[in-house]
Amino acid sequence: MKQTALNKLETCEALVAALTTLSSNADYLNRLDQALGDGDHGSTIARGSDSAIRELQSGSFDSVNHEFETIGTAMMKSMGGASGMLFGILFRSAKKCPASETMDTPTLASFLRCGLAELKRKTQAAVGDKTMMDALVPAVAALEAQETMPLQLALKSAAAAANEGAKSTVGMLPRFGRATTLGERARAARDPGATSVALFVGSLSNAVDTLSSKAADR
């Protein structure tokens, strides 16, 4: 199977699909957050995702980096708070990578690797702390390990790693944020931030798989 490279239009379509999944899971993410925080993580993520979708659908982009940067900026402006900053940093960091008009596995891996590095400058959270890092770190590692593979295959591995990471937060004690005050009461809950990352990567994987199949049929 050849390395898959999505053009700017296809990348935008895949990103919109992934953001739509985040938005449509607002109630589920809110329920998760009720056990750990204010119960509004889903609503906040949906607000940021909807804003990013509008920007992607109305914008003109000279690179796929610009598309990711647009998502990050929209999330930062519309979400506010810690979640807005963290998800904004994750996506906006693509502007620091070499500009590309297509998205393949090395390109996506470089975007998320750079985003993860920037997040580590802002927070000391790591795997095991019951945060978005529990899904993001293994997802990035999976992409890096499969960098020579076609994008749809590498993303399947990344999605599986992110999902396992999110599931692993059940049983962890939180080390950051308001949830730290809950003690043992927080142990049984699944982290909504890690779940958001897993939902995004999983939906992006599905969208890329669909687009790749359509391209193969042409």
Tally of domains within the chain: 1
141 Rama class: left (phi>0) / alpha (psi -120 to 50) / beta: alpha
* CATH number of 105's domain: 1.25.40.340
pLDDT in tens, 114-149: 999 999 999 999 999 999 999 999 999 999 999 999
Which residues, 6 or more positions from 36, have their beta carbon under 8 angstroms from its beta carbon?
174, 177, 178, 179, 182, 186, 189, 191, 192
Within the chain, where are the H helices? 8-24, 26-34, 41-58, 64-79, 81-92, 105-122, 133-145, 151-167, 192-217
Q: Provide the residue type at 50 as one letter.
A: D
In a domain, 35, yes or no: yes
Provide the pLDDT for residue 191: 96
Which residues, 6 or more positions from 120, have their beta carbon under 8 angstroms from its beta carbon?
none
In a domain, 199, yes or no: yes
In a domain, 33, yes or no: yes
In a domain, 24, yes or no: yes
pLDDT at 1 over 60: no
pLDDT: is 180 or 35 the higher one?
35
Domain holding 142, by residue range, is 6-217
Is the Cβ–Cβ distance between 134 and 96 less than 8 Å?
no
In a domain, 1, yes or no: no
pLDDT in tens, 60-106: 999 999 999 999 999 999 998 889 999 999 999 999 999 999 999 99
Confidence of residue 2 (pLDDT cuts 50, 70, 90): low
